[in-house]
Amino acid sequence: MIAGAGLGGLLSGAYLARAGYRVELFEPLAFVGGKFTSFDRDGFAVPTGAFHTLPGGGHGPIARACARLGVDLQLHLPRPSFVVRRGDERFVVSKNVLRPNTFWQTLPRRGRWRLGAAIGALAAGPVLPDVTFEQWLRRWDVPADTLRIAGRIIEFSIGVPLGETSVRDLGCGMWSQRWHTEGVVRGGVKSITSALADIIRAHGGHIHLRQGVRRVLVSGRSARGVVTESGQIMPADVVVLGTGLGVAADLLGNACPAALRHLLARSVPAWGASISVRSRQPLVPHAGIEVPLDSRHVSGYIQISAGAPELAPPGWHYLLAYQVLRPETFTPARVAAGVDEVRALFPSVAPDDVFHVSVFRGRWPAARLAQGIAHHGRGRCPVVCPGLDGLYLVSHDSAGDGFAAEVVASAAATMARHLGLEA
């Protein structure tokens, strides 16, 4: 039994269905995909969460899962993949500190070498100290101006400020992605979740839309099934919760292990705004991610139609911008300021061409747990539920490697390996 038809529930269901399990998946919404899908608005594929990209490109946990499950994943790999903008000038972010005419050459010599050494040391992965990336850079004596620039890049890359980013997670995430970078999904992320749903159905599984789970059945120290919102009792040997930690705790009720309640009490909701922009002319001269270093509100953007033109109507270009928000300082005016800044960055955009804004405030479709200090391992909920046999937690706040949605695929692979499935 699986609760939640987001990426975690669908990946788990596909692994289980291919292995011969009878999969019953329950989703309270009217569609599959959760925050890893999109809806059509006048021909534009507006995302519910993920920006139609895979942080690990063709080498991250999602791509590896697709290969194992037989999903035909088509990616556009932008070159350059990452660019920073200062004023009207653009500089490629290269892995090679010595490469001329790149972002590195805009930094003072001392800052360049200090930052390069600090990033290179991330190769230590799991043995890195349990500190923030800001603390890590200060240990390497990275100058303040260089640290500020690094902070802007990190903020867009994983959605949280430098001072809340785990250096251990960065290192492990880069290892998990084989040090590769973003890839744009042809057909959008909806093509992946739709294919996973097809796999479940093709192997005899059922996906019940508009019907959620009311609670998890627990007997002794084992999960034994679920009760649906309609009151139907569904026994099961394996229960997967793709709902996130907060909903999982509610479904378990008094049977929720103390370890999970402790993690939930420490969790930090993630807030942000997604801004959709259309234009008849290209807004940026490349298909990669761009971070405007001089902006106050906009964290970064990608012209998604440059890598996947089918995500916009013919004759249109489609740019997605992201703004990191802070719960303690949030006001609607801050989102409006982000929209105004997008228009200032791209003066040719007409007022009505900023055609959609989504604000995620700590609830679906935003991650419940922000990517913060020590969230790798002990700061995230374990995939194999402590104290309850047969229960697995596979969602955005589960323990796993990679960035953003890649963590979900990593968690699903952990579940599959624990059950002895191919993953």
Q: What is the pLDDT of residue 328?
A: 79
* Claim to verify: residue 286 and residue 304 sit in the same structural domain: yes
Closest CA to 17 of 207, 190, 223, 191: 207
Q: What is the pLDDT of residue 192?
A: 98
Q: Which tens digit of pLDDT belongs to each residue from 124-156?
A: 766 888 888 899 999 999 998 888 888 888 777
For residues 181 and 374, which has the higher predicted lDDT (pLDDT)? 181
pLDDT of residue 179: 63
pLDDT at 376 over 50: no
Residue 172, CB-side half-sphere exposure with 13 Å CA sphere? 22
- What is the band of 414 on the pLDDT scale with cuts at 50, 70, 90? very high
Indicate whether 86 belongs to any domain.
no
CATH number of the domain that 234 lies in? 3.50.50.60
- Domain assignment of residue 154, given as a range: 99-180
The CA distance from 135 to 143, in Å, is: 12
Within a domain: residue 15? Answer: yes
Name residue, tokens 């969602």: 395
Q: What is the mean pLDDT of residues 392-411?
A: 88
- Per the domain annotation, does 82 fall within a domain? no
Give the end of a domain, one of 340, 361, 382.
Answer: 361
pTM: predicted TM-score of the whole model, two decimal places? 0.91
Q: Is the pLDDT of residue 373 over 60?
A: no
In a domain? residue 91: no
Which residue in the block uniquely carries the two structure tokens 């959008």? 188
Domain boundary among 361, 379, 395: 361
CB within 8 Å of 367: residues ≥ 6 apart = 35, 244, 269, 270, 396, 397
Residues 6+ apart with CB under 8 A from 319: 276, 277, 278, 279, 283, 284, 301, 302, 303, 304, 305, 346
Between residues 204 and 262, which one has the greater pLDDT?
204
pLDDT cut 90: percent of the chain above it? 63
Is the bond preceding residue 365 a cis peptide, omega within 30 degrees? yes
Q: Is residue 329 part of a domain?
A: yes
Q: Does the pLDDT value for residue 40 go beyond 80? A: yes
Token pair 């019953």 in the structure block, residue: 24
Residue 281's CATH number: 3.90.660.50
pLDDT at 108: 86
Q: Which of 361, 389, 404 is the last residue of a domain?
A: 361
- Look at the chain and report how many structural domains it folds into: 3
pLDDT, mean of residues 2-17: 97
pLDDT tens digits, 322-370: 998 877 788 899 999 999 999 999 999 998 999 999 988 765 433 444 4
State residue 329's pLDDT score.
Answer: 81
Report helix, strand or coil for 299.
coil
pLDDT score for 423: 65
Q: C-alpha 339: how far from its chain's center?
A: 22
- Residues 330, 275, single domain; the answer is yes
> What does the pLDDT read at residue 155?
78
28 residue type, one letter: P
Q: Is 403 part of any domain? A: yes
Q: Is the pLDDT of residue 18 over 60?
A: yes
Q: Tokens at residue 90, please?
A: 């653009």
What average pLDDT does range 44-69 have in this prediction? 93
Same domain, 21 and 167: no
What CATH number did the domain enclosing 156 receive? 1.10.405
Look at residue 371 in the predicted model and tell me its pLDDT. 43
Residues 176 and 210 in one domain: no
Rg (CA), the chain: 21
Q: Does residue 151 contact residue 136 with C-beta atoms inside 8 Å?
A: no
Instruction: Give yes or no for residue 413 having a pLDDT over 70.
Output: yes
On whether residue 89 sits in a domain, the answer given is no
Q: What is the pLDDT of residues 66-104, one digit of tens each?
A: 999 999 999 999 999 999 999 999 999 887 777 888 888
pLDDT in tens, 266-277: 776 678 899 999
pLDDT value for 366 = 37
